Structure 1
Amino acid sequence: MGLGMTRAVALVGFTGHVVEVQAHLAASVPGFTLVGLPDTALSESRDRVRAAVASTGLTWPQRKITVNLSPAALPKTGTGFDLAIAVATLAGAGVLRAADVAGVVHVGELGLDGRLHPGRGVLPAVAAAVAAGFRDVVVPAADAAEARLVPGARVVGAVDLAQVAQSYGASVERASGVDGAVAPARTGEVRRRDGDLADVLGQDEARHAIEVAAAGGHHLLLVGAPGAGKTMLASRLPGILPDLTEREAVEVTAVHSVAGVFDPGGGLLRRPPYEDPHHTATPASIVGGGSGLPRPGAASRAHRGVLFMDEAPEFGGCVLQTLRQPLEHGELVIHRAAGSARYPARFQLVLAANPCPCGQGVGKGLDCSCTALARRRYLGRLSGPLLDRVDVQVEVRPVTRVERAATTPPESSAVVAARVRAAREAASVRLRSTPWRTNAEVSGAWLRSRLGADHGLLRDVDAALDRGTLSLRGADRVLRLAWTVADLAGRDAPTRGDIGLGLALRTRGQHG
């Protein structure tokens, strides 16, 4: 009888769990049994591992092999357990020393020729291993650069199973036809270059709304005619946001690694991500889905960045309603038959919409061919509960001839980003003893408690509440905007003018 044991990592959504891979070899009728809640892809590892060992030039043990993935109650998915199963089996057969492999984490999919293929989620898997006290990790060579981004990890990148066996002292000669070439790395998305606000002519009100949204982390709705510049403005928002902190960079990179869209060649993702799904997107593509345990969707890939939904009323109603949970809680919990997955989703939502189906209902709307009912139905697709969670709502008017002929160049993203950075720093000082990071997250009660004794500051907000143009939640969001306006102006607290500007940004200037 032989017993070999090593470690692997099971990813359940965004969270990694270290798994003990135990291989028991008994002198009985040869066979291979895999237990511990494996999914279909993992169950097939029996054939991949047997072929990979033979291709490596090692002898497959002709015994009854039972491999247990402990804890057995935790669902295991994917092909990343292949290497750990092979190493544990070889250790149980005496080919590798059991003591050498017991404390090492092995992550990787094996090909039939013994080569190691890259996979998804290497960064969060390695991070989970290090957090559990296992610093020595073996991964496919194509994933080594990503694994080394985790602080404290001692990473070995291996080309194939033969190289892994040799590193533990086994005498291995690759079988004929196996060249040990490195499997190609996963192709990540090309990192975008943010456009510059200097490209935007005129649009002073909309530019200021973008700046306020960036400074306070507020959600944003842009309403305007086609060609007014809504998409251009939204695409410039990530360029004026501050860089991600070290913790945020690891968090965002881990999400993109699980989603399979991360290119480790550029290191950790330091800039806020930007996602702009098409209006034909399904709920699963936005919040996450797939067979078995769900994978992250656009909302999670936009974590700590911007989720832009152009032509927002054209999105399906169920798609828009699924955003209410992440807007409130900053995370998505997705339940499927195979289990539940929890992904972070604290993003800035930017919605863009035409004022009516024909798009010409701006200003006096003289060129609009839509009926009043058609207008109401069109914007009515954006439900009240969703819009109530969007702090900044502005109208983007067409650029005038005077603005096009202006000789003073518009401010660049670098200039605006400096003001945004200063405002964020002011807010962080004020919020340093709280669980919040930006004004958009702060509770209204906490903000009201810092306004002082001048109750006249809220006179305009109270009037809007009395008229019914503002809800209680909307009143709190006006206060958040007022604090952001004050931070941008370098004031310690908002004035009545700041609150009035916050009210105008909240109600598209229609507060009367």
Structure 2
Amino acid sequence: MVSRSYSMGLYGLDSFVVAVEADISVGLPAFDVVGLPDAAVRESRDRVRSAMKNCGFQFPVHKITVNLGPADKRKEGPIYDLPLFVALMKASGQLDAEIEDSVFIGELSLTGEVRPVKGVLPMAIRAKEAGFQKLYVPEGNVSEGVVVEGISVYPVKDLSTLMKHFCGSEEIPAATEIAAAFTSQAPLPDFSEVRGQNEAKRALEIAAAGGHNVLLIGPPGSGKSMLAKRIPSILPDMTFDETIESTKIHSIAGTLPDGASLITSRPFRSPHHTVSPAGLSGGGNVPHPGEISLAHNGVLFLDELPEFSRGAMEVLRQPIEDGKVTISRVNGTISYPSAVMLVAAMNPCPCGYFGHPTKPCTCSANAVNRYLSRVSGPLLDRLDLHIEVPPVEFDEISSQDKAESSAAIKSRVNAARKLQNERFKGTSVTCNARITPDMLHEVCRLSESGRELLKKAFEKLGLSARAYDRILKVSRTIADLDQSEGIEPRHVAEAVQYRSLDRKYWTKEL
């Protein structure tokens, strides 16, 4: 007898319907799973057999063939344990229920408990689009499933509970409430806790308002990491579409906190400098999201930038420019979104005290050049703002005056973003940092005096064409913070100031 249940599969951010077909026929006892299963799927045979026996159900001692269709798409992970169990129960006559409108997702323990799995949110979205009415998921994943409207989500604790539900003796109530996502997390660090560094705070406000990439450079202990960790507190609130996109990525990667429904706070990822290129971009036979994609719609912070391997730094170049990571493998090509605000921090030299007002630098000019050359010119070009973070004076540290709060800064950032949302309405551009080349000169139109100022800076600093574009975009953001329709020369002058660490200029200073 042949029976069928339905489940879902994942390939990158995309999901697809999987038909789990079970055939029980006369012959020597065997249990075969076909349809491009990976090792975890093949091991489902042993988990399902033990779970059925330990829950008191009869495991059919016949020749069993299970097909996972479509057979040309690879199936990964233990998510097919639950649909495989349902198909076997139907094929063996132990289950008599209509399940054509239902999708089953879940891993089984040997005792029959249903364990949480990765990627429930994108699978729930695809199940609804495919016309299914019911979704059976592990209890630990129900908060992801109920985010999707238009499909009933049933939390399954164990196999016995599921069978009672189908028999009508003890119905599983459909989940209706969305659990809090990150609302219970600790409050974000506030800029009011940072003493001094007013120039750096101003630059970070500009970066947050336009979604610009930032390089913080200064001696040890000057507050670079402290400033970077507070950037999420001044970024605009996430839109619903951004929330869904980020949650899908974290769901697939298995990094959603227990009981979380949606990611409502902008991600902040800070990988260690020993991270591999694959760790940043994503990897595996079927690539999973890396740190760049996990930071999508948020901040990717790289502390001690020159300590990262050259391969790891160079893998950032294409995602920063295109807003997506494209990974090619023999099995196919996958793209993950990576619209991140890249924030990097570094010392000015190996000892960290080059240019320090009181502590002498022990590095030679060549040593400083070698240290800075670890960061390539093309990567440096993609960092819109270069911010010097000098050591903080004693009077500033010991001051009892309360610094400006993140809420006050965020209000100005939101006002600037509102202008940008109106300006780019109906386009794919979300902020000034994402202005496309065809829109650049129309959106960032300069007066004659502003053009002359930028020309002098271009020639003096030896800027690249990409740096020129970045200055225009930053100028537009500064004008938006001033609620100015046009870009004034003072806006250009401030934007140029944030390119003072370009490589040619820095080398001259040595």
TM-score (norm: length of structure 1): 0.91
Select 1:359's aligned residue among 352, 376, 400: 352
Does the aligned pair in 2 maintain the 1:145–1:264 contact within 8 Å? no
Distance 1:299-1:192 versus aligned 2 partners, 3 A rule: farther
- 1:181 maps to none
The verdict on how the C-alpha distance between 1:265 and 1:113 changes in structure 2, with shifts beyond 3 A counting, is closer
Q: How far did 1:40 drift?
A: 0.7
Partner residue, 1:33: 32
Deviates more, 1:11-20 or 1:477-486: 11-20
The alignment-based identity, stated in percent, is 40
Q: Distance in 2 between matches of 1:491 and 1:195?
A: 30
Show the counterpart of 1:216: 210
Q: 298, 307, 330: which is aligned to 1:314?
A: 307
C-alpha contact (below 8 Å) 1:5/1:21 kept by paired residues: yes
In the alignment, what sits opposite 1:128? 126
Do the aligned partners of 1:444 and 1:479 also contact (CA within 8 Å) in 2? no
Report if the CA contact (8 A) 1:146-1:264 is conserved: no
Report the equivalent of 1:24: 23
Residue aligned with 1:449, SS: helix
- 1:215 shift after superposition: 0.3
Name which of 438, 446, 452 aligns with 2:439.
446
The 10-residue stretch of structure 1 (339-348 or 12-21) with the greater mean CA deviation from structure 2 = 339-348
Question: In the comparison of the two structures, how many residue pairs are matched?
Answer: 495
| Structure 1 residues 452-509: Cα deviation after superposition (integer angstroms, max 9, x where no partner) | 5833322122223334621111111111101100111111121111111111123349
Matched, 1:153 2:146: no
Would you say 1:108 and 2:102 are equivalent positions?
A: no
What residue ranges of structure 1 are gaps of 5+ in the alignment?
Answer: 173-187
- Matched letter for residue 431 of structure 2: T
Matched, 1:388 2:381: yes
Question: Secondary structure, in 3 states, of the residue corresponding to 2:259?
Answer: helix
Aligned-residue offset at 1:44: 1.0
Matched ranges for 1:324-343 at <5 A: 324-343=317-336
Query: Quick one: structure 1 residues 4 and 131, their matched pair in 2 at CA, closer, same or farther if it must change by over 3 Å?
Result: same
Q: 1:192 to 1:274 in 2, by over 3 A?
A: farther
Contact kept, 8 Å, 2:33 with 2:65, in 1: the verdict is yes
Q: Which residue of 2 aligns with 1:165?
A: 163
Q: For 1:125, give the aligned amino acid.
A: M
Per-residue displacement from partner, 1:409-454 (whole Å, max 9, x unpaired)? 3110010011001111111101113210000000244131245583
Task: Measure, in 2, the Cα distance between the counterparts of 1:223 and 1:392.
Answer: 11
- Per the alignment, residue 293 of structure 1 pairs with 286
- Is residue 238 of structure 1 aligned with residue 232 of structure 2? yes
What corresponds to 2:137 in structure 1? Answer: 139
The residue correspondences of 1:387-406 to structure 2 (distance < 5 A) are 387-404=380-397
Contact in 2 for aligned 1:443/1:476 (Cα 8 Å): no
Corresponding residue number in structure 2 for 1:261: 255
Task: Provide the C-alpha distance between the structure 1 equivalents of 2:122 and 2:449, rounded to a whole number of angstroms.
Answer: 51
**Which amino acid in 1 is paired with 2:107?**
E
Displacement after TM superposition at 1:101 (Å)? 1.4
CA-based RMSD of the aligned residues comes to 2.4
Paired amino acid for 2:238: L
Equivalents in 1 of 2:338, 2:445: separation in Å?
34
Asked if the contact 1:444–1:477 (Cα under 8 Å) also holds between the matched residues in 2, the reply is no
TM-score, length basis structure 2? 0.91
* Deviation for aligned residue 1:337: 4.6
The equivalent of 1:195 in structure 2 is 189
Q: Is the 8 A contact 2:266 2:297 kept in 1?
A: yes
- Which whole-Å CA distance do the structure 2 matches of 1:85 and 1:347 have between them? 39
Q: Which one-letter code corresponds to 1:72 in the other structure?
A: A
1:252 to 246, 251, 268: 246
Deviations 1:7-43 (A, max 9, x none): 1111112221111111122233332221110001101
Determine the structure 2 residue equivalent to 1:423: 416
**Alpha-carbon deviations, 1:266-307, whole Å to 9, x = none?**
5311110101111122222222224x4232222111111101
Unaligned regions of 5+ residues in structure 2, if any? Answer: 171-181
1:94 and 2:87 aligned: no
